A and B are shown apart, each in its own frame.
Chain A
Amino acid sequence: MNKSLREKLESTFKDIQVAVLEENRIAVTAENHGVLAILRFLKDAGFDHLALLSAVDWIEDNCFEVCFILTCYMQNDDEVTGRQRLHIILKTKIPREKPQFKTVIGIFPNAEPYEREIYELFGIHFEGHPRLTPLLLERNYEIPPFRKDFDTRKYVEDVFDKIPFVEGKDK
């Protein structure tokens, strides 16, 4: 399964690198325009569960990395097949100046809250998402707070430390 899936991926798609990190962990690096097709291919191949959709800010390389972790409950279950469950990590890079990506809700509907979270914390816009409204944060931040150039210490000094203690009596 492990090897044949790798061969299938490499023969079907160009411009992807497939690496076996360890047993049952496969990392696929792809260009960002081909990600939706790879996701659809993997879903047809049995990986029907999107376990995580996350992002990483690589500020030195001036890009964001969007990261999908796919797995499957039924086909690779330990008790059914005797094999450990296979995880696929699909990574793609998008430029930092234009943080845009296509939504994957059409393929995995459970990506909706993940995409809202990434939009809020990293500022990556997902085209075609039905409601990119605030999910976790209460305040408005100039720079989304999970980006590496967001200075949390300065922010705390500017906002929370400026609020005075209540001492004495009101006049």
Chain B
Amino acid sequence: MDRNQITKWFKAPAKMANKYSLHVIYFCTGCGIIEVPPVITARWDAERFGIIPVATPRQANLFLITGYVSVKTLRPIIRTYEQMYEPKYTIGFGSCPVNGGMYWDSYNTIKHLDKYIPIDGWIAGCMPRPEAIFIAVTHLWTLIDKEMANGYIKYRENYKSYRRNQEMALGELEWPPLFPVSDEPRGNEQ
């Protein structure tokens, strides 16, 4: 461990522990997932960085979306994101979640993923190298240190806008809102 970081550990131990044990849930859409098996296995051993894949969104705090997002896969992405516990971070992997990539004029591809859920970091490229995941994670550490990786706070504060965008893309959503969306104070809700 870096000795310079000892003060940080005493100041905010929970944050530091969180930062160095990112549990990842991979959303295997499209072609990006082909880069993930070498990352988590021996060649580029991701556990050096404290990254470990987990089985369910309820154990994860990093959400990696690899590859294009069609309208149909947006629904499980939102549901997965809402099931994760805070603090939670999101990374879009590849060009397609950024702005559609090569599917920019497709009839069925969501072009900008950050209209629907907040994204803390992007990895551009088609395909990015496995090392790009580690660069993204070290950048995410910096952001967590400076308290700039606040996508989940943004989601809570702007939930009305996000929910409206989600309904515009998917139509009626069959799950209840995660946060209150009405303007009424909480006590007056039915």
Q: What are 22 A-B pairs with beta-carbon distances under 8 A?
A: A137-B71, A138-B72, A139-B171, A141-B107, A145-B107, A150-B107, A152-B106, A156-B106, A156-B111, A160-B112, A163-B115, A163-B165, A163-B168, A165-B112, A165-B115, A166-B114, A166-B158, A166-B161, A166-B165, A168-B158, A169-B158, A170-B161
Q: In the bound complex, do residue B160 and residue A145 qualify as a contact, i.e. CB atoms below 8 Å apart? A: no
List chain B residues, Cβ under 8 A from A139.
Answer: 71, 108, 171
List chain B residues, Cβ under 8 A from A168.
Answer: 158
Q: Is B104 an interface residue (CB 8 A)?
A: yes
Q: Is B105 an interface residue (CB 8 A)?
A: yes
List chain A residues, Cβ under 8 A from B34.
Answer: none
Which residues of A come within 8 Å of B, CB atoms? 136-139, 141, 145, 150, 152-153, 155-156, 160-166, 168-170
Q: Is B93 an interface residue (CB 8 A)?
A: no
CB-contacts of B103-127 with A (<8 A): 104-108, 110-112, 114-115, 118
Q: In the bound complex, do residue A153 and residue B72 qualify as a contact, i.e. CB atoms below 8 Å apart? A: no
Q: Is B27 an interface residue (CB 8 A)?
A: no
* CA distance in complex: A170, B161 (Å): 7
* CA distance in complex: A170, B171 (Å): 21
List chain A residues, Cβ under 8 A from B112.
Answer: 160, 165
Task: Please give me the 7 A-B residue pairs with the lowest Cβ-Cβ distance, nearest first.
Answer: A145-B107, A138-B71, A138-B72, A166-B161, A170-B160, A153-B105, A152-B107
CB-contacts of B131-184 with A (<8 A): 154, 157-162, 165, 168-171
**Interface residue total, chain B, C-beta cutoff 8 A:** 27
Number of interchain pairs (Cβ within 8 Å): 59
* CA distance in complex: A136, B71 (Å): 10
By beta carbon, the residue of chain B nearest A141 is B107
Q: Known: A150-B107, A156-B105. Contact between A166 and B71, CB under 8 A?
A: no
Query: Among the listed B72, B165, B171, which residue makes an inter-chain contact with A164, where contact means beta carbons less than 8 Å apart?
Result: B165
Which residues of B come within 8 Å of A, CB atoms? 70-72, 75, 104-108, 110-112, 114-115, 118, 154, 157-162, 165, 168-171
List chain B residues, Cβ under 8 A from A156.
Answer: 104-107, 111
* CA distance in complex: A150, B75 (Å): 25
Q: Known: A139-B71, A170-B157, A170-B158. Contact between A163 and B169, CB under 8 A?
A: yes
List chain B residues, Cβ under 8 A from A165.
Answer: 112, 114-115
By beta carbon, the residue of chain B nearest A162 is B168
* CA distance in complex: A138, B72 (Å): 6
Q: In the bound complex, do residue A137 and residue B108 qualify as a contact, i.e. CB atoms below 8 Å apart? A: yes
* CA distance in complex: A150, B111 (Å): 19
Q: In the bound complex, do residue B115 and residue A166 qualify as a contact, i.e. CB atoms below 8 Å apart? A: yes
* CA distance in complex: A153, B157 (Å): 33
* CA distance in complex: A161, B169 (Å): 11
Q: In the bound complex, do residue B158 and residue A160 qualify as a contact, i.e. CB atoms below 8 Å apart? A: no
